[in-house]
Amino acid sequence: METNAKSDNSVMGDTAGSIPNDGTGVVTLDPWLGPFKHALKRRYSKAQDWIKKIQDNEGGLEKFSRGYEYYGFTVNDNGDITYREWAPNAMRAYLIGDFNGWNRDSHEMKKNDFGVFEITLPAQGGQPAIPHDSKIKISMVVPNDGQRAERIPVWIKRVTQDLSISPMYEGRFWNPPKGEKYIFKNQKPPKPKSARIYEAHVGISSPEPKVATYKEFTKNVLPRIKNLGYNTIQLMAVMEHAYYASFGYQINSFFAASSRYGLPDELKELIDTAHGMGITVLLDVVHSHASKNVLDGLNMFDNSDHLYFHEGARGRHELWDSRLFNYGSYEVLRFLLSNLRFWMEEYQFDGFRFDGVTSMLYLHHGIGTGFSGGYHEYFGDTVDEEGVVYLMLANEMLHTLYPNCITIAEDVSGMPALCVALSLGGIGFDYRLAMAVPDLYIKWLKEKQDIDWDMGALAFTLTNRRHGEKTIAYAESHDQALVGDKSILMWLVDAEIYSHMSTLTELTPVIDRGLSLHKMIRLITHGLGGEGYLNFEGNEFGHPEWLDFPREGNNNSFHYARRQFNLTDDHLLRFRFLNDFDAKMQWTEEKYGWLHSPQAYVSLKNESDKVIVFERAGLLWIFNFHPTGSFPDYRVGVEEEGTYKIVLNSDSQMFGGHGRVAEDTRFFTTPFGWNDRKNFLQVYLPSRTALVLANEKAM
């Protein structure tokens, strides 16, 4: 099989021809993995065993991952409906619904030797026997004194909830007439060289206190994302989840797009419209756990504890209060791999951000475990090799079938080879999230005075990533926005966000500091922190307050479950300065491409001046984090001689700054070594200001 190994092989240059094919190729990238060759071989061997087994039994991963075309409801061209469900513990099963008046005995299903129940309903007068969008269930006789277990079909594509009646979901037979099915109009955009990701949640994407819709997102938010310069959207909370306040992390129906926001075809329209704008769309996929709901989830589906999940304690996550998949099960692998394939095919997503990867990689799920970075933590008895192998198979399948697919891992542990191809013994993701970066900012904003910020520690945290493995950097994501925490701007300005963000009020020292550091934190994260960048919606303009979904603890209020985009549209408010700076940052990256350029060369980390200087993508980046110190004629080393001009200035009045550096200033190099660079130039460097300079030859 072809994989996405090319980019990883290229890192190793001439050694690529001598890479072993036993899963230890990654040792060429990282010799420190040498003592763990046995574990690497074992993981790789298990993945290859699964690939061979699936090839022998099913004809390969491509066919194996088409489970959604066999299980659940399928409709033939003549209107016949076939329904299949894997429920080996059930003794008998019946299809019930609106179509048969909920008769529990009229439509009995046949069970085969593999525990799969099946029924075919012939078309009636050329029309399907089950009306489109009508309610439906499976009723099973289980070995518990012959009692009935009535469940929503596992592979169902639409479920709905009427909270005025019950919090329980109801399954629906989704089969729109041919003329009403959504037809995708736009080609998928090419895979972005630089992933600039806008993390978004459809339901909160309105200033109004309500659940926003797919259509509203398409009309109102997509143009904002495009204008800001982001080329990728990461959609959260799309897979149907029983509890809105879970932020989409308690999945009950894995093949259903959340009906809270509208119809399935309206989500397709959203994705298609984004593609037409040249925007890549990723799905936040939750394969790390599942809702423990029984009546409208996978839990105890056929009245057994072990159908899709591990039995007993291993099948339960004590902190998340949810069920854990058995990644060593043949049918569970079919279910999960087919789930990924379904979202790629049916909805035309371009890839996935895998949630909770740490929980999947380790038997302890990261609970009560602090990862020191010692390699022994990534191998041995605490590792869930079944989870590791599933992720290997998932990435192999996705990147083989969809060469432009993007996969991102949310892993806090720092697992080596997470973003290296399977052919080298890696797990196969394209990117990992730089989860230590936002933690550093929040810790410093809580605990340190600005003058005590450690430039060396900041530069180290932003550049401390594994060679040959790509990273998505971010200053704050949805995690930092949730209730219990505060956004970076709230940490910076606190209560003054309510009283002094109007341009008609004085620019207080608190607001001045907040605006300045908000811009600088984002810019240095963007430029130094990774090979991709992520922002959670609203944080680009310093969204006030946290994110809190309606729940019993807040009297089911939507007050904090919304994004106040209107704040940026009011030109009398200072939020627009942050919004405009964010857009300038994204579009400048689009021009110079630093995210897909080699890692930066940091030439200066001056602790007394609070200055950091680095070069990346031919640009010279200069940051002065000093709260009061401004430096005239500050000498800065640079490798490339020439004349430099400003391409980004955080102190520009356009972005709420003081305009202390003239935008048309030209900076001339002197051929004299400085900070291990061949040349230097001199700049006026005001306090709390960042400048990005480009050589005129490259402009």
Q: What positions carry a catalytic annotation?
A: 355, 410
Dihedral sign for Cα atoms in the order 480, 481, 482, 486: positive
**Tokens at 577, concatenated:** 């300065």
Which residue type sits at 233? I
- Report how far residue 315's alpha carbon sits from residue 304's, in angstroms, rounded to the nearest whole number: 12
- For 638, counting Cβ atoms within 10 Å of its Cβ (0-12 exposed, 13-18 middle, 19+ buried), the class is buried
- Report how far residue 670's alpha carbon sits from residue 683's, in angstroms, rounded to the nearest whole number: 13
Please report where in the chains the tokens 């060759």 appear, as a residue.
37
DSSP 221: I
Q: Return the exposure string of 373-403: e unless at least 16 CB atoms fall within 10 Å of the residue's CB, then b.
A: eeeebbbeeebbbbbbbbbbbbbbbbbbbbe
Which helix (H) or strand (E) element contains residue 511?
helix 509-528
Percent helix, strand, coil in the chain, to 5, is 35, 25, 40
**Tokens at 622, concatenated:** 């200069």
- Report how far residue 59's alpha carbon sits from residue 589's, in angstroms, rounded to the nearest whole number: 44
- Report how far residue 26's alpha carbon sits from residue 422's, in angstroms, rounded to the nearest whole number: 9
DSSP of 630-681, one letter per residue? -EEEEEEEESS-SEEEEEEETT-GGGTS---S-TT-EEE-BSS-BTTBSEEE
Tell me if 546 sits within 8 A of 481, measured CB to CB. Answer: yes
Report the candidate in 412, 284, 424 with the shortest Cα–Cα distance to residue 360. Answer: 412
Tell me if 207 sits within 8 A of 566, measured CB to CB. Answer: yes
Dihedral sign for Cα atoms in the order 414, 292, 407, 43: positive
Tell me if 27 sits within 8 A of 40, measured CB to CB. Answer: yes
- Report how far residue 74's alpha carbon sits from residue 135's, in angstroms, rounded to the nearest whole number: 16
Residue 96, C-beta contacts closer than 8 angstroms, at least 6 positions apart: 102, 103, 104, 107, 136, 137, 138, 139, 150
**Tokens at 68, concatenated:** 């959604």
Q: How many CB atoms lie within 10 A of CB 682?
A: 15
Please report where in the chains the tokens 């000093």 appear, as a residue.
626
CA contacts within 13 A on the Cβ side of 149: 25
- For 463, counting Cβ atoms within 10 Å of its Cβ (0-12 exposed, 13-18 middle, 19+ buried), the class is middle
Per this entry, what is the length of the chain? Answer: 699
Residue 568, C-beta contacts closer than 8 angstroms, at least 6 positions apart: 541, 575, 576, 579
DSSP 502: B
Pairing between β-strand 134-141 and β-strand 116-121 as defined by DSSP bridges: unpaired
Longest dimension (CA), the chain: 90
Which residue type sits at 9? N
